[in-house]
Amino acid sequence: MKDRSALRLATLQEALASGGTLHLRDAAELCGVSEMTIRRDVNAHPQVISLLGGRLVMAHTPGVTPVYDLTEQQASHYQAKSRLCQRARRFIEEGDTLFIDCGSTLMPLMNQLSEFRELTVITYALNVANAVAVLPNVRLVMLGGLFYPTSQSFASDTMAESIERLGINKAFISAAGVDLQRGVSCFHFHEVVPKQAAMAAAMQRLLVVDASKFGVVRPAYFASVNEFDVVVTDDDDAPALLRDEHSGQPTITAP
């Protein structure tokens, strides 16, 4: 017998390629077989198509949910990040033009932007862009270039001058390491130019970092701590860690 199963799988994959869901009964009708057969097909290839509440969804295809369950622990980790961003949110005002850095730290902040009437977000990160693209009240400006998967962001040789031309109210910058002596650093060198350009162009510079980043140094240095106007953090000891004789010390958010 020919492998009709593979043929059906291909049909269903095609149907789902653009990223929707297909009800089991429709899939069965589409393939001209019983629901049970579709069930068996799909269960035999969980890495291709998954069955979720009677509906077929792609498991892995570009732009589609890998269907696995988050543990409660994983989920609560995001809660902590979310709290950090709730502090950062207090610095945003109606009508602001915000520069949003790449990384996962600032993602929860994007979910809070729907509370404003009108904002503009400038970013060079794909994940940030996606989060903002669905908000009808936020204008999105994307800085393009070559894509770097590790940071989900773009870089180009013209990015610095593109940023110079923009009017930025507040630059929200994230980092992988913060050290009073050795400065603020990140993992990837391609992030340095956009970060520095945004800081130069912005009226206010905010560093958003969780407690785990203090005393850490990463490969790519991009600024000293006192170049920032505000440090937003969830670390109770941050004020002590960042105490400095310099006059240009940033405000540190209380825990």
Piece of 55-63, 172-180, 232-240, 245-253 that binds its own copies (CB under 8 A): 55-63
Among 17, 52, 70, 203, binds DNA (CB under 7 A): 52
Instruction: By CB under 7 A, tell whether 68 contacts DNA.
Output: no
List Cα–Cα distances, 168 to 70, 108, 130, in angstroms: 37, 20, 20
Number of chain residues interacting with its own copies (CB under 8 A)? 79
Q: Which does 24 bind (CB under 5 to 8 A by kind): DNA, its own copies, none?
A: DNA
Query: Which residues, including other chains, have CB under 8 Å from residue 57's CB and lie 6 or more apart?
Result: 16, 21, 49, 50, 51, 64, 65, 67
Query: Which residues, including other chains, have CB under 8 Å from residue 67's CB and lie 6 or more apart?
Result: 50, 52, 57, 59
Q: Which does 162 bind (CB under 5 to 8 A by kind): DNA, its own copies, none?
A: its own copies
Residue 177, burial from CB neighbour count under 10 angstroms (0-12, 13-18, 19+): buried
Instruction: By CB under 8 A, tell whether 102 contacts its own copies.
Output: no
Piece of 18-26, 36-44, 92-100, 195-203 that binds its own copies (CB under 8 A): 18-26
Q: Indicate the SS3 state at residue 215.
A: coil
Question: Under rule CB under 8 A, which residues in 155-214 are in contact with its own copies?
Answer: 158, 162
Residue 245 in tokens? 């004789």
Among 2, 90, 117, 165, binds DNA (CB under 7 A): 2
Instruction: By CB under 7 A, tell whether 54 contacts DNA.
Output: yes
Instruction: By CB under 8 A, tell whether 246 contacts its own copies.
Output: no
CB count, 10 Å around CB of 245? 5
Please identify, using beta-carbon distances, which residue of 34 and 251 lies nearer to its own copies.
Answer: 34
List Cα–Cα distances, 20 to 25, 55, 117, in angstroms: 15, 10, 31
Residue 21: CB minimum distance to DNA, A: 10
Instruction: By CB under 8 A, tell whether 233 contacts its own copies.
Output: no
Question: Under rule CB under 7 A, which residues in 18-47 are in contact with DNA?
Answer: 23-24, 32-37, 39-41, 43
Spatial CA neighbour of 31 closest among 44, 16, 53, 19: 16
Spatial CA neighbour of 70 closest among 79, 62, 82, 61: 79
Piece of 120-128, 204-212, 222-230, 243-251 that binds its own copies (CB under 8 A): 120-128
Residue 27: CB minimum distance to its own copies, A: 8
Instruction: By CB under 7 A, tell whether 180 contacts DNA.
Output: no
What is d(CA 132, CA 122) in angstroms, rounded to the nearest whole number? 10
Binding residues (CB under 7 A) for DNA: these are 1-2, 4-5, 23-24, 32-37, 39-41, 43, 51-55
